[in-house]
Chains A and B, each alone.
Chain A
């Protein structure tokens, strides 16, 4: 049982480049989330989705876009990467807003 899978696991970008992070879950969860984790700041919600075709902004959405074209996938895009976006990105999914979330293994992104 794969759970939540994120690709890629590591990436180095130059300032201004774009990239897409892919999150896939096989648990038939409605809710999916993208977080970033930075030292001293904890996990902060970037965007989330409550179902196929829906997305919403979280705590720190600027500089990111998302899409949920299929229920099992949630994509996070960086259109023009900035050094401030250097972080560890985690995707998560949950059955509902009051049940536990399951996390992917994370993507370590460095923007130089």
Chain B
């Protein structure tokens, strides 16, 4: 089983829609989680950190479900500028490595 798994999509949604992505992880001891955004041919950039049950920043909400070992990212009122690939990242508690999901592609359509 992969350390981190994401639905690759693509997700194509109209402007103003609400969209949610899920990410499952295998290491139950992981303590912190991150969502990164990556635009085409650019480096990944941090979108949100999740250290407890969840985090909210404007239109973006990240939630953590430790029992089921998944984190989710909810985007409300989607904008054209939200079109990107969203990467789920889980640092291993027992190692020194960040594991990245393969990413979920989002396209917001006018």
Contacts and interface: CB of A to CB of B under 8 A. Distances in A.
Nearest to B92: A97
A99 interface: yes
Given A42-B102, A97-B91, A98-B91, A105 B34 contact: no
Nearest to A105: B43
A50 B43 contact: no
Contacts, number: 55
Contact of B96 (A35, A41, A48, A59): A48
B42 A105 contact: yes
Contacts of B96: 31, 48, 50, 56, 97
Given A33-B98, A58-B97, A42 B103 contact: yes
The A interface, classified by DSSP as helix, strand, loop or mixed, is strand
Chain A, interface size: which category?
20 to 34
B106 to A, nearest CB: 16
Interface string B27-49: 00001101000000111111001
B32 A99 contact: yes
B102 A40 contact: yes
B49 A90 contact: no
A100 B43 contact: no
A41 B102 contact: yes
17 contacts: A31-B96, A33-B97, A42-B100, A43-B87, A44-B100, A45-B98, A48-B96, A48-B97, A50-B96, A56-B96, A97-B91, A98-B32, A100-B46, A101-B46, A101-B89, A106-B41, A106-B42
Interface of A: 31, 33, 35, 40-45, 48, 50, 56, 58-59, 90, 92, 94, 97-106
